Structure 1
Amino acid sequence: MKAAFIDPGALRTELSLQSAVLTGDGLGGHAAVWQDVATVFGLVEPLSQASRFGAGQVQEENTHRVTIRRRDGVAPGMRFVSQARVFDILTVHDPDETGRYLACRVREAES
């Protein structure tokens, strides 16, 4: 099978890769504080949009694919931040199994 071609010049959106750090809240619970792990450049492509009505409100869901150069440590539960947009990472995989890139399916968080 031929490897998919990804134009390296298309990876031009600056993204902050963040990981959640849990800190105690003093009452036996915890709070998540997001900490920058790295600055990466990627290609952000929209995949789907869904609108659901429930509990008296409309819930919008936008999913995207974010392609970045391969790096260790990228995992579901992390997130990308680009300016005012936040993308929660749902899945991470190597799209052509060459070890060059990572494709992350993400859900855009509501602001």
Structure 2
Amino acid sequence: MIDLDTNGEITGGNFENYYVVSTACEPPLEGAGLTMGMRGTVGATEKVECKKGKIKVFVIGNKAPKGLCGSGVIDAVVVFIREGLIGKRGNFSKEKALKPSLYTHGLE
């Protein structure tokens, strides 16, 4: 579930575990504090998925990616955690470094 207003709350999980985060909504989901964060406009990565070990990004306007908008950030974090690229403390895993061959653009 997602509740976006002045503050934003995002929760997800399954029947065994739920995770909830809360933050000031507008700036974090529009790129404040993120090196490659941006508004949801042409060039923003809006969706990230991983199928058969390959990470695929979908970019608004079907252009080369310039950064990540809010939904892209959330998708990226979920995919990276699921694939073991990010550990429980938020650090990137050195053992499972992302290789360029694992990345594809959604324009296929």
- The TM-score normalised by the length of structure 1 is 0.23
Q: In proportion to residue count, which structure has more helix?
A: 2
More relative contact order, 1 or 2 (CA 8 Å, 6+ apart): 1
- The TM-score normalised by the length of structure 2 is 0.23
